[in-house]
Amino acid sequence: MAEPLKTFVNGVEVEVPNSISDIRAALPEGRREEFDQAINEAGVHDIHAVMRHWMLEAVPDPEAEALLQRLAADEAERRGVA
């Protein structure tokens, strides 16, 4: 298993997946088929660039996640679920 990399997103340290299986798992389900195709079509000279592209796609964004949670809570409150 590849050791995870770390970066900062909006001042928050997050782990960056660092293997094909970890990148795939971190992607939204709807993007995994496109990822599989890109990885499977990458040649020896392109594989690093393809992986770097998808690593960045898979990096969590804490601000976006917080926004989605807030929107879900607002929607639940509006529907009287919360």
pLDDT digits (tens, 9 = 90+) for 16-40: 888 999 999 999 999 999 999 999 9
Instruction: Name residues whose C-beta falls within 8 Å of residue 61's C-beta, 6 or more positions apart in sequence.
Output: 9, 10
Is the predicted pLDDT of residue 82 greater than 60, yes or no? no
| Cα distance between residue 50 and residue 47, in whole Å | 5
- Helices 47-58 and 29-41: crossing angle in degrees, nearest 10, is 170
Q: How confident is the model at residue 50 (pLDDT cuts 50, 70, 90)?
A: very high
Is the predicted pLDDT of residue 5 greater than 90, yes or no? no
